[in-house]
Structure 1
Amino acid sequence: MNRQELDRHLQNNSAPRAMALFGESHFLIDRYAHRLSQIEGASVLSLYHDEYDFNTAKAHLSQGSLFGDQNLLIVKHEKKLPKAELDTLVELVGKNSDNTFIYCYYGDDVKGADTAFKGSHTGSVRFFHPFAAEARAIVMQEAQAIGVQLDNQAAFHLLDIHNNDLALACNELSKLSILGKPIGMKEIDEHVFGLSEIKLDHFIARVIEKKEFLPSLRHLLESGENEIQLLTAISGFLTQLYLFNTAIKIHGVADSAMVLGYKLPGFVEKERAALSIKISPEGYKRGINLLLDTELKMKSTGSPDQESLLLSALLKLQSVL
């Protein structure tokens, strides 16, 4: 089925009890998993990524609920689960009308992701990145849900600031709700960080990959970013890469949910993982120490020429990584 059909099922309380959610938009996967899981009084077992264990999942759906309510199993994973295991879990849902199973697959290889979900009690939806108008409508819905008065132009502006990343745009809504007044473009410009995370990441990546970055740096500074904020952002990004590097060495995979506590978009996760393994442990140590020393110098000396200090630090960073 498509997203619109699932919306109708949710409105009519007729959604299939075994659902596979997958595709390009991780935001929509999470959003619909949350909507499908709103089952009052359900006994819920959530298994995310490395927490998944087939025997545990099977046992949850095999047992009767203590209070006669539904057993809800939610599995979120970036890897495809074995079809035989999914077949068993889906079958258990078919045998017991008190069971519900939501399978969220975040991997890029979507072919066959829903093969096991066949039958009258099952369904699957592939979530594509929404078009601009769809994304705007989703932001408006999320704003309405938490009581934020947001007009159409402001919704588009919020998305534009965050490079049409729905997760980032919707995360800002809770911050804007604190203002307690209607939100227009003026409020967004005043209270939302005016540079998309992805654009900033691209600049930082150019520095770390030892590419030409001066034009981008000047553009950022002319856009209103200050030198200390940029230096802090680079320090944080480099620290994050070190965590990815460590996770890959220990676990063999770069799982952003494990490293950061939240799931990054697939393409961002891949970029950071690939970049993280290009730097040696000694390179991380020298780079982070350099950035911290420069930040301390900027804050303690009060030098009026912060731009020169930043430029010097970034050039040195390229030489020590």
Structure 2
Amino acid sequence: MYKSQLDTLLKKTAPRASLLYGESEFLINYYSKKIAQNITTQSEEKTTFYFDEYQFESVNALLSQGSLFGGQSLVIIKTTQKLPAKEIQSFLKSIARYPQNALIVEYYAPASKSLGEYMRDCKAFVASFKNPELKGNDIAEVRFFMPQFDECKMFLQERARELGLVIDDRLLSHILSLHNNDIGIASKELEKFVIYKTDNQPKTIELGDVNVLCDGVASFSVEELNYALMDKKPFLEILHAIYEEGVNEIMMISEIQRFFYQLFLFFAYIKIHGKANAVEILGFNPPQQITQRLSHYCIRLKEQDYARIFEILSQWRYDVSKGQSKQSYNALIKIQALIR
């Protein structure tokens, strides 16, 4: 089953046994909560086992009997380990026997395994997650892929409403872009804006608020560094501040590469069409100030300059990967010399 099929199912009912897995940790967690909300009642006891807390005997005891006062038991297992088939079969057998109880397994990719290894484990997990007495809507195994940009923005809009925030779609797109479309991180960023709310009144978020509170994958200091480079201004103080923040140098290089890649996209589009169209270039409409800045900066470099900048950044990344840290100054001096 895939996300769209689960969405359709949840409009009618919620499965009593769910296995959630795939590439998106955010969606696994999001839909676990959504399923739990659909099946939880006031009389239902919810117990969550976090990773190393998992114990077969404890889970099985909760699922194989009615909870206190004749209520229901919902068990949620968050794990990076493929559970033994015999244990899964025991859980499903208990749910078939005690249909008032429910199980959600959130199976995340372990850091020690490649995506291919994880997906092979998922295939085996799915094969064991079956019981002839649980049919149709009673049981579901769902694979989640990384959400597309528009999907990410939809989840951010939903989270903003939950938090009582009023925020423009362009700013949501900007926050996503800052975090390389990582919906999990971007969703957490929205929680920072709650401090602006007064008397539980909705707060309208503006670009200045984002600049103050959102750090991006590396830091807003990296954004300031990029602007200093393009404006031919001294950047050493900003660079020192970045290192003092403890920003990972590879992440800093990635942010600089992302910035110049966006500039190149604007440069190429303007060269063909005569003017910029941020929606067609980036896939979303950022705040007007950002569009104007990128449009202004992109024409300060020629095509061969962009090629040279990407060569410099690639060499810098290679040097850092070989243990030669803090090679930034020489690389940035070379980049700034190319800007007209």
Q: 1:234 to 1:122 in 2, by over 3 A?
A: same
Alpha-carbon distance, 1:219 to partner: 4.7
Could you tell me which of 151, 163, 170 is aligned with 1:146? 163
Task: Give the secondary structure class of the aligned counterpart of 1:133.
Answer: helix
Amino acid paired to 1:89: F
- What secondary structure, in the 3-state scheme, does the structure 2 residue paired with 1:112 have? helix
Shift of 1:19: 0.2
Distance 1:185 1:218 in 2: 19
Query: Alignment partner of 2:95: what SS?
Result: helix
> How far 1:199 moved relative to its partner?
11
Question: Which of 107-116 and 139-148 deviates more?
Answer: 107-116
Q: Which residue of 2 aligns with 1:10?
A: 10
Provide the residue aligned with 1:188 in structure 2: 210
Q: Percent identity of the aligned residues?
A: 30
Q: CA deviation at 1:164?
A: 0.5
CA distance in 2, matches of 1:171, 1:218: 25
What is the match of residue 87 of structure 2?
Answer: 85
- 1:92 Cα deviation (Å)? 0.9
Counterpart in 1 of 2:241? 228
1:169 Cα deviation after fit: 0.3
Please report how far the alpha carbon of residue 97 of structure 1 lies from its aligned counterpart in structure 2 after TM superposition: 1.4
Structure 1: unaligned runs, 5 residues or longer: 204-215, 238-277, 279-306, 312-321
The one-letter code of the counterpart of 1:103 is V
Inter-CA distance 220–33: structure 2 relative to 1 (3 Å threshold): farther
Matched-pair contact (CA < 8 Å) for 1:22–1:113 = no
CA distance in 1, matches of 2:161, 2:41: 23
Q: Is the 8 A contact 2:225 2:239 kept in 1?
A: no
- Distance in 1 of aligned mates of 2:84 and 2:15: 21
Match of 1:249 in 2: none
Match of 2:29 in 1: 30
Instruction: Tell me if the contact between 1:157 and 1:185 (Cα under 8 Å) persists in the aligned partners.
Output: no
1:111 aligns with 2:113: no
- Residues 234/191 of structure 1: CA separation in 2 closer, same or farther (3 Å cut): closer
After TM superposition, what 4+ stretches of structure 1 lie above 6 angstroms from structure 2?
Answer: none
Distance 1:36 1:160 in 2: 29
Whether the aligned pair in 2 keeps the contact of 1:90 and 1:116 (CA below 8 Å) is: no
Give, in angstroms, the shift of residue 198 of structure 1.
9.9
- Does residue 1:57 correspond to 2:59, yes or no? yes
Aligned residue identity for 1:152: D
Q: Is the 8 A contact 1:163 1:198 kept in 2?
A: no
1:135/1:234 CA distance change after superposition, 3 Å:
closer
Q: Give the aligned length.
A: 230
Bigger radius of gyration: 2
Distance in 2 between the 1:218 and 1:172 partners?
22
Q: Which one-letter code corresponds to 1:92 in the other structure?
A: S
What letter matches 1:128 in structure 2?
Answer: F
Q: CA deviation at 1:185?
A: 3.5
Counterpart-to-counterpart distance in 2, 1:135 and 1:49: 26
Specify the SS of the correspondent of 2:205: coil
1: distance between equivalents of 2:243 and 2:182? 21
Q: Does 1:125 align with 2:132?
A: no
SS in 1 for 2:150: helix
1:116 shift after superposition? 2.7
In structure 1, the residue matched to 2:304 is none
Q: Which amino acid aligns with 1:232?
A: E
The residue aligned with 2:258 is none
Confirm or deny that 1:164 pairs with 2:181. Answer: yes
Give a deviation string over 1:235-287, Cα, whole Å, max 9, x none.
Answer: 9x9xxxxxxxxxxxxxxxxxxxxxxxxxxxxxxxxxxxxxxxx9xxxxxxxxx
Q: Whole-Å Cα distance in 2 between the matches of residues 56 and 49 of structure 1?
A: 14
Q: Secondary structure at the match of 1:113?
A: helix
How has the CA–CA distance of structure 1 residues 190 and 198 changed in structure 2, closer, same or farther, with 3 Å as cutoff? closer
> Following the alignment from structure 2 to structure 1, what is the Cα–Cα distance between the partners of residues 152 and 212?
22
Shift in Å at residue 48 of structure 1?
1.4
The alpha carbon displacement at 1:11 in A equals 3.1
Residue 82 of structure 1: how far off its partner (Å): 0.8
Quick one: structure 1 residues 189 and 232, their matched pair in 2 at CA, closer, same or farther if it must change by over 3 Å? closer
For the aligned residue pairs, the C-alpha RMSD in angstroms reads 3.5
Distance apart, 1:70 and its partner CA: 1.1
My pick for the range that moved more, 33-42 or 166-175, is: 33-42
1:190 Cα deviation (Å)? 3.3
CA distance in structure 1 between the aligned counterparts of 2:142 and 2:148, rounded to whole angstroms:
17
The alpha carbon displacement at 1:173 in A equals 0.9
Q: Residue 145 and residue 98 in structure 1: after superposition, are their counterparts in 2 closer, same or farther (change >3 A)? A: same
